[in-house]
Amino acid sequence: MQLGKANSLTENGDTVNGRGDTPNEHDVLTGSSLSGRLIDDGSNHTCNNWTSSGEGSAQVGHFDRTGGGANPNSWNSAHGSRGCGQADLVATGGAGYFYCFAND
């Protein structure tokens, strides 16, 4: 099954707002490259291993596979966030969501 808006749900089974919804919450925190591996270029793409709420940036993907950035259709590596704080994540188009996968 491909990741997309129809099958990307919250822990409560609710649909997550995507591009075109208000508010847009389609950015998901990944810190990964297009290949799904941690970006290892000497810069911090994980907001200090997901512990920073201030300066920095997180690499994000678009769960609905649409939007802007260098790779707008990528679920795991679309662009960097404006910063690591909640206001920065919201301003970029997210809500600070992480992805968890389950295998049926």
pLDDT of 103 reads 65
In the predicted model, residues of the chain with pLDDT beneath 50 are none
pTM: 0.88
Q: Which neighbouring-strand residues pair with 46?
A: 58
Delimit the domains of the chain by residue range. 21-92
DSSP sequence for 23-91: S---EEE--B-TTSSB--SSS--BHHHHT-SSSS-BEEEETTS-S-SSSTT-SS-SEE-S-SSHHHHHH
